[in-house]
Amino acid sequence: MKEKATWDASEKWYHECVGEKGHYYHQKNILANALRLLHLKPNESLLDLGCGQGVLERHLPKEVHYVGVDQSKALIAHAKKASKREFIVGDVCDQIPLEKQDFDAACFILSLQNMEKGDLAIKNASRHLKHQGRLLIVLNHPCFRIPRQSHWGIDEQAKIQYRRLNTYMSAQKIPIQTNPSKQETSALTYSYHHPLSTYTTWLHKNHFVIAQMEEWCSDKTSEGSHARMENKARKEFPLFLALLCHLER
């Protein structure tokens, strides 16, 4: 199955997970922090790359000129049902079907990690931003959250929970089964892992300067015999990495 088709095939599962307002971490960690970093002013414009069903859009002030782009026709259909703002079906790793090239800001909110040609996605973002335009990238933290290659472990003797990494520097294309409990009908999507140095190289080649970096931890709490070590580990190993960049050209 071609990659473009996988998100349409996973649309029902993904929409149930994320919903209209976003999943737990959208609501508790990601959206408020993303808007704080983007610092959008009235009448500024935002290009949302890999927008899914438009979760970010529903948290924006009405004065912001917004355009969302995603390759999934099904997810864009959800977005259009929920909002009258502009949504476009398009592959952000290819030529984006959009004439405007002076957006004030652009963002990848948990989407760049699902794009096979992330370098081209960043290049396309630069094409549609004005000079000094802002680019926000939010990722599952590539140092600590690598599908199938990072795991929790418990050291009973030291009374700590630790994070184990099997690999880090190697680029990987990792299949993700969207509904493992229903393997016969479950669709595959893909997560693409890269080390931090790859992301910084992509940004540098496309004239972006990293202005700010933040790491966001989970606010959840555990109960039970391992609660103390689990709660401590959550504060030590962040879930998400945010990079705020400026376009210098």
Quickly state the pLDDT bin for 4 (edges 50, 70, 90): very low
Is it the case that residue 5 has pLDDT exceeding 60?
Answer: no
Domain boundaries of the chain, sorted by first residue: 3-149+170-221+239-247
Model-level pTM? 0.91
- What mean pLDDT comes out for the span 92-119? 96
Helix, strand, coil share of the chain (percent; to 5): 30, 30, 40
Q: How far is CA 172 from CA 164, 167, 201, in A?
A: 17, 10, 17
| Three-class DSSP category at 7 | helix
| Token pair listed for 25 | 């971490």
- CATH 3.40.50.150 corresponds to the domain 3-149+170-221+239-247: yes
Phi–psi pair at 112, nearest 5 degrees: -60, -35
